[in-house]
Structure formats: structure tokens, C-alpha cells
Structure 1
Amino acid sequence: MSGFEHFSRDASELEREIFKRGMLLDLDWSDRGAMRALAREALQGGAEHTQALLADPDPRLRARGELFALGVLMLRVMEESADTGVHTHGGTAWKAFGSALIEEASALPDEA
């Protein structure tokens, strides 16, 4: 497994940061509806929306933008590890937000 340990380390670091943002936003990781709504906002708003949130002086809105940016990194780690045959996942926060992002992404209409 040598060479793939960084996926596990990346997942742990991302999980910790996602969890911290969730605490600030008072998220309930077991509330699938809330997770899907959050994921929908992240996906539909795109990079421009995330950038606006990251620049907002309100710490809760900035944390929301940080959560969305961390979601992008999380999906990238999962994709890169899958490309090497490694299944990477984090804890409760990772699974809740990651699952919601995947479900919402699959529900988006295909672009023509």
C-alpha cells in the first residue's frame, strides 16, 4: 500500500476541517434533507457563489464557503484515490456531506 497513505491522511485532515465548519454552522450530519439542501446550494451556486461566501465578512457565511471549497477537495481526493484503486473515505461529516454532494450531482440535469 506504499505510496497511497496520503489519501488516508488527506481524508483525515479534510474530515477534521469539514467537521469544524459544520460545528460553526450548527449542522446535523444525520439530517439528510439539510445535507442535500447544502449540497444543492454548493453545486448550483458553483465557484462564483463559493468565492462570494469566502469573501463575506460574516464568519458563518465564510464558513459555508469554506465548507463548499472543502467539499470540492473531498471529491477530488475520492476521485484520485479511486483512479489508483484505493477507496478513500472519512468519518461522519465526510460521509454525510459527500453522499449528499454525489446524490445532488446525479440529480442535476445533463448539460447539452
Structure 2
Amino acid sequence: MATIATLTQKADGNLEGTLATLNVTAPIVLVPNARKAKDNEPDYRVISRKNGFELGAGWNRISKTTGEEYISVSLSAPEFGTIYGNVAPGEDPNKKVIIWNPAS
């Protein structure tokens, strides 16, 4: 699986970094969804830091195999269609990555 973003955990709960695919390189931020009112609404909004465009959303999940928490993301834009991924720990404790999770 390919790493499509590198993120830094911020003190305010945001995850900031860069989305990088074959066609797109864009600064992004995952912002906790403070307006979440229902369980099925996303826990995070994925926003382009360049223009404020909302690229997608993220949901807190728990791995069935390890019991670890992670964030499942869905990103969508005309330049790349829809991409699914998971936020996973990076090599540095303050870093995270989005791993591409291609649809089966």
C-alpha cells in the first residue's frame, strides 16, 4: 500500500500535512468536526490549506485485528476522483501518514 500523505499532529487536534499522488500535491489539514451531531457524521473534515476547499472526511474506527484506533478517510476531487485511505502512525510519534486503501 502506498503512502499518499504525511501529517503532523498539532496540539489543537488538527493533523496538517501534504497529500501527494501521481497527479496532485496539495497542503491539507484534517480538522476535528466540532459540529458533529449524529453518529454517522464524520469525526474529521479534510480541508485544502491552499484554498479552503473540503476534500473529504474521516471517521474514527477500531481495528478488528489489533483493537487499535485509526482514522478512515475518504477524499474526493475532480483531479483524482475518490480515494480511500487510513491514517496510520508514522516513524516519528508526532507524525502520521495516510495509507492508500484501494477499493477491492
Both structures adopt the same fold (TM-score exceeding 0.5)? no
Tell me which structure has the larger Cα radius of gyration.
Answer: 1
Q: Between Structure 1 and Structure 2, which shows a larger proportion of helix residues?
A: 1
Q: Between Structure 1 and Structure 2, which shows a larger proportion of strand residues?
A: 2
TM-score scaled by length of structure 2? 0.26
TM-score scaled by length of structure 1? 0.25
